[in-house]
Structure 1
Amino acid sequence: MVALPLPPGSPDGLLYSADDRDFIVIEQRLAPIHQRQVALHEIGHFICDHEAAPVMTPEASRLLLPGLDPTLVHRVLGRDHSQSAAEREAEYIGSIIGQCISAWAEPRTWPVPQEAQELVARLTALEHPHTKGPR
């Protein structure tokens, strides 16, 4: 994983798959929590083995970028950055991984007035069925 200043208009992160290893490049000027989500999103693309959409033909790639392998250009630049199913899936997978490996922020608690404690306990049980009572 590498944090670099990416050009204006480029995605906040990208997954680059070489023959023998994979790289995730993240915009270094993002807030740390945003960098984490971008990294997890790119890991989601990796896990789901999403294919990049064609950006240009291999011939055009060789002509315009002669020093780069056309397959590399396709993998790095070709993914659809819209709200496609693959993008939604990568975001979902990244969010699930993030929830499993750590909390996004310090847990916060608020005092619950005595008259609201029963309601809070019931609502908390709906949100976290494995937890009993207010947190």
Structure 2
Amino acid sequence: MRWRLPARGARAGSLRERCEERVRSLRLPDRGQVTVEELCDYVSPLSGRPIRLIPMALPAGSPDGLWVSAEHEDFVVFERRLAPVHQQQVILHEFGHVICAHEATPVLTPEASRLLLPSLDPEMVRRSLGREHSQTEAEVEAEYVGSLIGRHIVSWTPEQSWPVPAEAQEIAARLKALEAPYPRGSNE
């Protein structure tokens, strides 16, 4: 899938050039020679933290992906029920935010964050969920960078699976338990 940057005069040219330079600076192998997992190793030095990919069944109405920047590592959380090609674009879009060093826009107060996610640091939640998801320059830039990176990624197959890192297995198990329906014919 290739996303094209809409033409908007000199500003679009500048954004396009900036995005293309950022992707060139990663020094990725030729087209189709790097996996998304290997891409983590190319992008991690930009934030100075390892990047972990976390597949999850995200709540209805939430974004399909999130970049969570923690103190010692970054997480790219993505909806595991998406088609593989859509998962790839979501992950690459979130990598685009890392590559472009985008900051979150504060939309959640620390108090609201504590109510919604009491076990997480409010500042981390603000950085992760606080970006405005629209046609802002940052979102357009992240999408275009993700599309450019996609040229280097090995094709995906429907059999693609994602291991859940040890530190995320407890929460993944809790979320999985919530989605498992009762067996048919069960009276429980």
RMSD between aligned residues: 1.9
Q: Does 1:15 align with 2:67?
A: yes
Cα distance, 1:68 vs structure 2: 2.0
Alignment partner, residue 123 of structure 2 = 71
Equivalents in 1 of 2:113, 2:143: separation in Å?
A: 29
TM-score, with length taken from structure 1: 0.70
Q: Does 1:95 align with 2:141?
A: no
Cα distance, 1:8 vs structure 2: 0.4
- Within the candidate set 65, 68, 80, 2:132 is matched to 80
Alignment partner, residue 81 of structure 2 = 29
Alignment partner, residue 12 of structure 2 = none
Equivalents in 1 of 2:148, 2:110: separation in Å?
A: 36
Cα distance, 1:34 vs structure 2: 0.5
Q: Residues 42-91 of structure 1: CA distance to partner in whole angstroms, max 9, x if unpaired?
A: 00001111111112223443455443211111012101101111000000
- Aligned pairs, how many? 105
Asked whether the 8 Å contact 2:84–2:156 carries over to 1, the reply is no
Alignment partner, residue 55 of structure 2 = 3
Alignment partner, residue 132 of structure 1 = none
Equivalents in 2 of 1:64, 1:44: separation in Å?
A: 27
Structure 2 residue runs of 5 or longer lacking an equivalent are 1-52, 158-188
Distance 1:64 1:52, change over 3 A: same
Question: Greater RCO between the two (CA within 8 Å, min separation 6)?
Answer: 2
Structure 1 residue runs of 5 or longer lacking an equivalent are 106-135
Equivalents in 2 of 1:64, 1:99: separation in Å?
A: 38
Q: Work out which of the two has the higher radius of gyration on C-alpha atoms and give 1 or 2.
A: 1
Cα distance, 1:19 vs structure 2: 0.5
Q: Residues 100-119 of structure 1: CA distance to partner in whole angstroms, max 9, x if unpaired?
A: 334679xxxxxxxxxxxxxx
Asked whether the 8 Å contact 1:53–1:79 carries over to 2, the reply is yes
Equivalents in 2 of 1:48, 1:66: separation in Å?
A: 29
- Percent identity over the alignment is 64
Quick one: which amino acid aligns to residue 101 of structure 2? D
